[in-house]
Amino acid sequence: MRLVYSADLHGEAAAYRALLGLASTTRAEAVIVGGDLLPHAIKLDTALAIQQAFIQAELQPLLRAFRAQQPECAIYLLPGNDDWAAAVSNAVALEQEGLAYLIHNQVVQLVAGDAPLWLAGYACVPLTPFSIKDYERRDAETLPPFDFSMAYTSHSGTIEPAIAARFAALPSIADDMAALAQRSDPARTIYICHTPPANTPLDQMPRGRHVGSQALRAFIEQHTPFLTLHGHIHEAPEQSGQYAIRLGTTWCINPGHRAGRLQAVTLDTDDIIGTLEHTVFGRPSV
């Protein structure tokens, strides 16, 4: 199956148009956006309206036009830590119209038959310094020291303060990934996880800092998935010089992001590394 993948488009209509154009020219069978779908919106009085307006005024018309031209190409959308859950809930209209599938905590079958291939999505990232907490979770057993005084959630439908005790009671990234592993064969599953695995070129920030998920890395090393696709750390490929790495036998990819240009990858699931190509960085160094 021919896939086109990008992440962190942050409501850039031009980036969505470029991604859909790439899917058309490469005759992709599926387009996947791996987190941070909507515009930056942190002012509490306007945040939901800004993100909801993008879905209705920009994204929905784009997907309608693409569906009319490419009716056989499926689109899968994963929110990320910069998206408000109350705004993402409006994207259900895209599913109802058959324009896209929302895949947070979902497992869908991409390929049927004797060698089925599955797609599993997970939006949450380890705690960040940012205020939106809808798609953030503790990485493992304990909640690290964190100031929740400027932290907010919107799962109720409105923006309200995040309460540390409630946050600590939520399943961890480790818990959620273990649950996802029970819903398909990891060896035949592509995991779309907004967070990259920790201490790899895919989560590298300036000054050598790494902020990915330790739990996700442990999951990959234990379950050896078919493929994992990530985002979140925009600058990682430029900082590390790599957008694709192997953890054990699993290829893991973070295309990165820079405003004003499309950073995406194309690949064929029958020959991942033989067909993998980045729109900016070209073929991977392996």
Task: For the chain, give every domain's residue range.
Answer: 2-278
Could you tell me which of 175, 203, 166, 159 has the C-alpha nearest to residue 45?
Answer: 159
pLDDT at 150: 92
Which residues neighbour 65 within 8 Å (Cβ) at sequence distance 6 or greater? Answer: none
- pLDDT per residue as tens, the chain (286 positions): 999 999 999 999 999 999 999 999 999 999 999 999 999 999 999 999 999 999 999 999 999 999 999 999 999 999 999 999 999 999 999 999 999 999 999 999 998 888 899 999 999 999 999 999 999 999 987 787 888 889 999 999 999 999 999 999 999 999 999 999 999 999 999 999 999 999 999 999 998 899 999 999 999 999 999 999 999 999 999 999 999 999 999 999 999 999 999 999 999 999 999 999 999 999 998 7
For residue 163, the tally of other CB atoms under 10 A from its CB is 12
Q: What tokens does 163 get?
A: 């309460």
Q: Which pLDDT tens digit goes with each residue over 196-214?
A: 999 999 999 998 899 999 9
The two beta strands, 264-268 and 250-253, are unpaired
Per-residue pLDDT, 142: 79
Give the number of other Cβ atoms within 10 Å of residue 98's Cβ. 13
Structure tokens, 243: 């957008």
Contacts of 115 (CB under 8 A, 6+ apart): 188
SS3 136: strand
**What's domain 2-278's architecture?**
4-Layer Sandwich (3.60)
Q: What pLDDT, on a 0 to 100 scale, did the predictor assign at position 113? A: 85
Q: Are 161 and 190 in contact (CB under 8 A)?
A: no
pLDDT reported for residue 144: 78
pLDDT tens digits, residue range 128-171? 999 999 999 999 877 878 888 899 999 999 999 999 999 999 99
First to last CA, the chain: 22
Cβ proximity of 86 and 48 under 8 Å: yes
Residue 94 makes CB contacts below 8 A (sequence gap 6+) with: 55, 59, 60, 63, 77, 100, 102
CA dihedral (121, 126, 128, 132) positive or negative: positive
Indicate the SS3 state at residue 50.
helix
Instruction: Tell me what the pLDDT averaged over the chain comes to.
Output: 96
**Residues ≥6 apart with Cβ < 8 Å to 144:** 127, 138
In order of 78, 248, 258, 281, the CA distances from 241 in angstroms are 25, 20, 15, 9
As a 3-state breakdown, the chain gives helix, strand, coil percent values, each rounded to 5, of 30, 25, 45
